[in-house]
Amino acid sequence: MKNFRLFLPLLILAAMALPAKGQRLASFKEQLAHPALDTLSLRTATVTVFESEAAREALAQATGSAHRTRFQGWRVCIFSDNTAEARSKAYEAMNTFREHFADIPYYNEYASPYFRVSVGNCTNSEEAIILLNRVNKVFPKAFIKQELLTLSDLLK
């Protein structure tokens, strides 16, 4: 329950910060601006939408903060190597992962001297353990690691 209380505000903030939300809001405004036919009275109705500057600024600020706000999360590392062929092996691991787990996001990272491929965006260790158990069938050397996640990561 404690994790849910922490996760719920993050989820609400993330939902407000979606760039796609702005696109949907614009299309909604466009639909409202066109006359609609009232089927009972056979008359048309028009709605005029006014957006205050304060609301526009708040939406822009929330959108920008989704990429900056970071919090502790977990991912499963499926590949980590620093040999001469590490880069090509990392790409092989990503391709194999995409074939087996198309619905899970993956991240390729180079932190000298290691090439790493991590997967998932888990908000707690229990989620990471469940993901690790799924991934272990294809990547038996996979392990859990803590990472800083953003709200944008959770929306992938």
What's at 65, amino acid-wise?
S
Q: How confident is the model at residue 53 (pLDDT cuts 50, 70, 90)?
A: confident
Contacts of 47 (CB under 8 A, 6+ apart): 32, 33
Within 8 A by CB and 6+ apart from 22, the residues are: 59, 63
User: Across the chain, what does the average pLDDT equal?
Assistant: 79
Q: Is 60 exceeded by the pLDDT of residue 63?
A: yes
**Whether pLDDT at 91 is above 90:** yes
Secondary structure (3-state) at 99: helix
The gap from C-alpha 25 to its chain's centroid, in whole angstroms, comes to: 20
pTM for this model (two decimals)? 0.58
Distance, in Å, from the CA atom of 76 to the CA atom of 62, rounded to the nearest integer, reads 29
Distance CA 79, CA 94 (A): 9
Residues with Cβ within 8 Å of 143's Cβ and at least 6 positions away in sequence, in order, are 76, 77, 132
**Nearest to 156, CA basis, from 96, 66, 71:** 66
Summarize pLDDT for 11-31 with one digit per residue, the tens.
Answer: 555 555 544 444 566 666 666
Which tens digit of pLDDT belongs to each residue from 93-105?
A: 999 999 999 999 9
Label residues 106-139 b or e (16+ Cβ within 10 Å = b): bbeeeeeeebbbbbbbbbeeebbeebbebbeeeb
